[in-house]
A and B are shown apart, each in its own frame.
Chain A
Amino acid sequence: MSSVAPFGWGMVAGLGAGLIIALAALIGVWWERKVSARVQLRLGPQQAGPYGLLQTLADTLKLVLKEDITPARADRRMFRMAPFLAFVPVATSMIVLPVVKGWAPLQIASGALFFLAVPGIAAAGILLAGWSSRNTYATIGGIRGAAQMVSYELPRTLSVLALCILGGTLNVVTLQESWRWWWVLATALGFLVYFIASIAELNRGPFDLPEAESELVAGFFADYSGIRWAVFMMVEYGGMVAASAFAAIAFFGGGFGIPGVAGTFLLIVITCVLATVMIWAKWTFPRMRPDQLMSFAWKVLTPMALVQLAIVGVIAAWL
């Protein structure tokens, strides 16, 4: 285990993360359709394969074969680049997550910071997608997306900082190793802040303002089609898995601090449960308004995160 990964190893790990995201999107879309159907007195996909499992595969095939349209008015190069600018940071951020206790593909001293900061670059991708489309809806969506992601970055980072104080480290691997069961109680408030802020970071309902289907049609990716559109979907589902997995690792010690395969299995279970709660929230709540969203971040979540920091500070001093 080296502290600085060689370039080749980073490529392999990044590729692995990309594959996990593709898989997460494949299963996630199916799962979301099933869960939302149950919420809404429907059945969801059930024709393609058992329980409709192959439905997303069929949809993916359709998307890949679909014409990849670039609008005549769009800024061509930026428009075509934007989905990948949103995708790469999310995939990159995943490589610091310790999937087995004590081992992460990339173990760096500031892992937690890396995980929180790198996906922030995706905001540029969203802003670029919205701006380069040269479409009023997409422009508004892109700007909303950037504003929202910047605002929710703060409470999210503060809530994770509480854990770093308890663990005395920014390294995700050592953070997970030093996890104790009572951290769950001590950081409950921080977990809530992290979870809500993560949903907002991912632009998912009830915070899906940048795409706001009923106002902005599809917002920043209104003009995308085919594979590039699919990449934006993958960013959403990959982000969901990454945010849930990080919550499971940092707030629940991976599989509650259990080493080996059993721990990894528990980690996957917790991740799936958290992702399901995200889906559940999306299909239950209406969408917020941009100004409400901003005041919620600054007037509710940020103070809550600060209270969590104070609690942890007292505990840390007492320890």
Chain B
Amino acid sequence: MPLQVEERRDVIGADGRLVEELVVNVGPSHPSTHGVGRVIVHLDGEVVTKVEPVIGYLHRGIEKMAENRTYLQVVPLTDRLDYVGSMYANWAYCRTLERLADIAVPERAEYIRVIVCELQRIASHMMGLGASAADTGAFTMFVYCFDLRERIIEFFETLCGSRLTYNYVRPGGVSFDLPEGWLEDVSAFLETVDAKLVEMDQLFFGNVIARGRMKGIGVLSAEDAVAWGITGPSARASGVNWDLRKHDPYSVYPLFDFDVVVGDNGDSYDRGRTKIFECHESAKIIRQAIAKIPGGKFKTPLPRLIAPPAGDAYDHIESARGTLGVYLVSDGSVRPYRMHVRSPAFCNLAILPRLVPGHTLSDLIVVLGSLDPVFGEVDR
């Protein structure tokens, strides 16, 4: 795709009249493309007639790089996939490797993984919500979201010394045990989180302008969601009851009591609001996990070089954006023969050209924000 686009040309519109089409190049450097997304938008006045997403601006070849590294060295690479939810990519990769090399994981490690990943879900949803609120001009909501996210990031910093790329979930467990008093701090934080989420819900989703901006915009039907492989909150907002934590249970999730949040309308408003409700459910899971967490080892001792038997394995988890799967092929050596990531952000973004036409340019930003793409994961 060329960097320069032809800006004006005459085309025959849908109703047969001649329109002077304006072609707007949104991104890759633009405030509302959530990183380096690029969308070429064809406009008839303010109404969008055609949308062409252009991806690849953040392609780093992570899957190829993995082939030249040992299995343990790949974990930091997975951090760079979904950089607002690094724990998920760590975990998805480790689960696949554990399946491939038949590595046992201590129960305490599974609990720790659930706790950090549910905290990560809240942090990631806060990023998504805040960014899509800022897209509609509600910058105050953005700051409120980041306030909540910041607390969680601080917990992660205490846990592993890193704020964004954690490299925390490792094959056979996690890299460090929980620091002293960490669980108590998290419990204290969870006391406040529900009230804050309700406040945000009222501040933004209760606002009459925000409702007008998001309701009925970018409606995704349940059939389309299934047909296009949309997963995560974007699919659940359309009424698709699909959550891997419930429907393909992994780790210790079957031990916890929580609900899958399902919306009705599948519009941008529901996609946003589903995230708020999911954060409540995540808090519920963490509370139960903290109450039940057993003692014991946090990691299975492993040799530095893991050489799984030849073969392949796939495993997936429910990330904040949907089904995050990792496929690994081993040829019996200490390096993966092939790694592939099934990234939810990529699959969810694919529906954009179908949702936007007929809406205005302003709505494009809202729909893009509600799909919550992270381009580290889209481009890989």
Query: Which A residues contact B (CB, under 8 angstroms)?
Result: 36, 39-42, 136-137, 139-140, 205-206, 208-209, 212-215, 217, 283-292
Contacts and interface: CB of A to CB of B under 8 A. Distances in A.
Contact of A286 (B30, B43, B46, B207): B207
Contact of B361 (A36, A39, A215, A292): A215
B212 A292 contact: yes
A41 B143 contact: yes
B187 interface: no
B73 interface: no
A206 B140 contact: no
B123 interface: no
Contacts of B136: 214, 286-287
Contacts of A42: 143
A205 B137 contact: yes
Contact of B363 (A136, A213, A289): A289
B134 interface: yes
A136 B40 CA distance: 12
13 contacts: A40-B143, A140-B46, A215-B135, A215-B361, A215-B365, A217-B31, A283-B139, A285-B138, A286-B136, A287-B138, A289-B213, A291-B46, A292-B212
Contact of A140 (B24, B135, B141): B24
B209 A286 contact: yes
B83 interface: no
Given A41-B144, A286-B209, A136 B22 contact: yes
Given A40-B140, A215-B365, A217-B31, A288 B134 contact: no
A286 to B, nearest CB: 4
A291 B136 CA distance: 15
A214 B31 contact: yes
B213 A288 contact: yes
A99 to B, nearest CB: 34
A31 B190 CA distance: 35
A283 B361 CA distance: 22
A286 B361 contact: no
B212 A288 contact: yes
The residue in A36, A139, A289 that gathers the most chain B C-beta atoms within 10 A of its C-beta is A289
A214 B23 contact: no
B26 to A, nearest CB: 8
Contacts of B23: 136
Nearest to B131: A214
A289 B268 CA distance: 14
Contacts of A136: 7, 22-25
Interface in B32-46: 32, 43, 46
Contacts of B204: 286
B109 to A, nearest CB: 36
The residue in A136, A213, A288 that gathers the most chain B C-beta atoms within 10 A of its C-beta is A136
Contact of B147 (A41, A140, A286): A41
B207 A285 contact: yes
B24 A214 contact: no
B214 to A, nearest CB: 9
Contacts of B22: 136, 139-140
B150 to A, nearest CB: 10
B360 A286 contact: no
Given A136-B7, A286-B137, A215 B143 contact: no
B362 A217 contact: no
Contacts of A288: 209, 212-213
Contacts of B143: 40-42
Contacts of B361: 140, 215
B212 A289 contact: yes
B74 interface: no
Interface string B6-27: 0100000000000000111100
Per CB-CB distance, the 5 closest pairs between chain A and chain B, nearest first, are A287-B137, A286-B138, A40-B143, A286-B136, A214-B32
B133 interface: yes
Interface string B348-380: 000000000000111111000000000000000
Contacts of B139: 40, 283
B147 A206 contact: no
A137 B212 CA distance: 23
A214 B361 CA distance: 11
The residue in A36, A214, A288 that gathers the most chain B C-beta atoms within 10 A of its C-beta is A214
Contacts of A291: 46, 360
Contacts of A205: 137
Contacts of A285: 137-138, 207, 209
A153 B377 CA distance: 48
A214 B135 CA distance: 5
Contacts of A292: 209, 212-213
B210 interface: yes
Nearest to A135: B7
Contacts of B210: 286
A212 B25 contact: no
Contacts of A39: 140
Contacts of B43: 140
Given A40-B143, A286-B141, A289-B362, 11 more contacts: A140-B46, A208-B137, A285-B138, A286-B138, A286-B207, A286-B210, A287-B137, A287-B362, A288-B213, A291-B360, A292-B213
Contacts of B147: 41
A253 to B, nearest CB: 33
Contacts of A217: 30-31
Nearest to A144: B46
Contacts of B46: 140, 290-291
Contacts of B365: 214-215
Nearest to B7: A136
A296 to B, nearest CB: 9
B127 to A, nearest CB: 16
A93 B244 CA distance: 64
